[in-house]
Amino acid sequence: MKVLERFADPAFALFRFFFGVLFAFHGAQKVFGLFGMPHAATGVPLVAGIIELVAGPLIAIGLFAAVAAFIASGQMAVGYFTAHASGGFLPIVNHGELAVLYCFAFLFIAANGAGHWSLDALIAKRSS
């Protein structure tokens, strides 16, 4: 639809921003025990929380977004297969749909880059 093409850049920026912020919230749950989840003192949940807490804001503001999104996508793939896949084949059955959504959203951001409305684009513009 040609009429909606002019909204592609701001829509992608909103997509990137909200996925990044929500991902950071998951990190805050694991690292600080915020938002109704007990804090993960040690082990895999803490490492995952740190990745989420760092990668989420980077993705949200579009700074090193492709690299951060690639790492986050990998984390979500590993998380899905280690925590959910044993509970059944379908993500809706094993409660892994959020991990799958994050994985593919971040893979899309990694492949697409941060977009025009990002700090990466602003830095590239100033460098040239």
Q: Is 110 a member of any domain?
A: yes
Which residue range forms the structural domain that includes residue 120? Answer: 2-25+59-127
pTM: 0.91
Q: Is 100 a member of any domain?
A: yes
Using CA atoms, how far residue 59 sits from 72, 108, 120, in Å, is 9, 12, 10
pLDDT at 13: 97
Give the pLDDT of the chain (128 residues) as one tens digit per residue. 788 899 999 999 999 999 999 999 999 988 888 887 776 656 678 899 999 999 999 999 999 999 999 999 999 999 999 999 999 989 999 999 999 999 999 999 999 999 999 999 999 999 87
Domain count, the chain: 1
Q: Is 31 a member of any domain?
A: no
**Length of the chain in residues, anyone?**
128
What the block records as the tokens of 3 is 């009429």
From CA 115, how far away is CA 103, in angstroms rounded?
Answer: 18
